[in-house]
Structure 1
Amino acid sequence: MSTSPWAGVVPMTRSRYLYLADLAGDNLLASRPVAQNIDRPYDGDEEKAVYVVVNRDGLACYAGQTRPAKSWTGAAGIRLNQHMVEPSKRDEWDSFWVLPLKWSTKPTIVNWYERTVAARLMLPLRHRRSRSSF
């Protein structure tokens, strides 16, 4: 059993990404079934998204969302850069997959989708605060 705070149990693959993308239905902006290196600039065009972070072992270890109050193009990359201030994340996170959502996606749907993606990847919803303040 790993003592890493970012241990995962499920490998993130292209086919798993496509399955998760299908769950978004008409809310999906585009399918991007390619992992992004966490250390490289990201040039996405999404404003809302759910993203899956993969650790150095290739296992999904975190699912998060971006749902900015104003327009942030490439919002997933911006949000991931905010995470990188934490040493454990800088040390263990390797790449991420973006599930971009349409700007019109309702906040309740974004919340549901993040929870659903996390559940399908067997990820705990740790460190969650109430999303009602967004």
Structure 2
Amino acid sequence: MSTPTWDGVVPMTRSRYLYLADLAGDNLLVSRPIAHNVNMPYDGDEEKAVYVVANRDGLACYAGQTRPSRSWTGAAGIRLKQHLAERSKRDEWDTFWVLPLKWSTKPAIIDWYERTVATRLMLPLRHHRGGTVI
């Protein structure tokens, strides 16, 4: 049995993306204020990123990060495919927005940025490795 994801309460819009992108400061690789369909191929060139998933109602329902130990071009798309192995996510998730970060961005900054994005979107904060809410 799959566990449903967070329903979300905040609409994910272009203007909200731009606001979140500004929070990254000099760590942002490039601004891409475009929603990508989770079922379509994604051709991003980022290796590190924070991404926001929206459900079919356009509400932000998940924020995650990529910071691979090896080079993963299009890392956000790769990570999304991993998530979509779960039925509840395949059923609920519709689009995702990528906030690409420079390769030089330190892990502590990526962690901070993911938490900040999640907080601003009123998403639950999760410790992803242990799965517990913090």
Name the aligned partner's letter for residue 55 of structure 1.
N
- Contact residue 6 and residue 123 of structure 2 kept, 8 A: no
CA contact (8 A) 1:30 1:100 kept: yes
Q: How does 1:87-126 map to 2 (within 5 A)?
A: 87-126=87-126
Equivalent position SS for 1:105: coil
Partner of 2:68: 68
Asked whether the 8 Å contact 1:6–1:92 carries over to 2, the reply is no
- For 1:52 and 1:79, how far apart are their aligned partners in 2? 12
Unaligned runs of 5+ in 2: none
Matched, 1:22 2:22: yes
Paired with 1:71 and 1:88, the residues of 2 have a C-alpha distance of 29
SS at match of 1:11: coil
Percent of aligned positions that are identical: 82
Instruction: Name stretches of at least 5 consecutive residues in structure 1 with no aligned partner.
Output: none
Report the Cα distance in structure 2 between the residues aligned to 1:122 and 1:114, rounded to whole angstroms: 12
TM-score scaled to structure 1, two decimals? Answer: 0.92
SS at match of 2:50: strand
Distance 1:42 1:85 in 2: 17
Cα root mean square deviation, aligned? 1.1
Cα offset, 1:125, TM superposition? 1.7
- Specify the SS of the correspondent of 1:108: helix
Q: Deviations over 1:59-91 (max 9, x none)?
A: 000000000001100000000000000000000
Q: Which residue of 1 aligns with 2:39?
A: 39
